[in-house]
Amino acid sequence: MKPLILQRCLQYPTSTFGILVVNNEPKFVTIEKPWLNNERNISCIPIGTYTAKPHNSPTFGKTLLVEGVKDRDHILIHAGNTSADTKGCILIGTEFGGLNGMRAILKSRVALRKLLSIIEEPTEFIVRVGFTYG
């Protein structure tokens, strides 16, 4: 499998939005916490290259575990719709939208199921995180 590429494209005071590229094709949208110096539970992870693998989370069920994030652990790619649904993890969906007056991603569980069906367990793979905005 080719590396997953998370290309962040918009940042707001409470959230960061991106596009998740799978096998060189933009497939999903993402939402994370804003960049707050990699502070645990309140910040998205730094730009960089990480490894990831399928993971069974006691809280979220089948997810992907992102490893190698400096000073952080338990970074998952899991379902959720707004930055309030994460403590520093990456949430995926199929489209951008709004939910209860908040910026959001939608159809998150559908997106996670599709992504997990693409990943061949127990394959470890690369995740590259970058920015496209200034």
pLDDT tens readout for residues 34-77: 999 999 999 999 999 999 999 999 999 999 999 999 999 999 99
pLDDT tier at 124 (50, 70, 90 boundaries)?
Answer: confident
Contact 68, 50 (CB under 8 A): yes
Average pLDDT in the 101-128 region? 91
This prediction's pTM: 0.94
CATH class of domain segment(s) 4-131: mainly beta
**Can you give the pLDDT at residue 133?**
59
Nearest in space to 42 (alpha carbons), one of 54, 55, 33: 33
Q: What pLDDT, on a 0 to 100 scale, did the predictor assign at position 123? A: 82
Alpha helices in 32-130 (DSSP H): 108-118
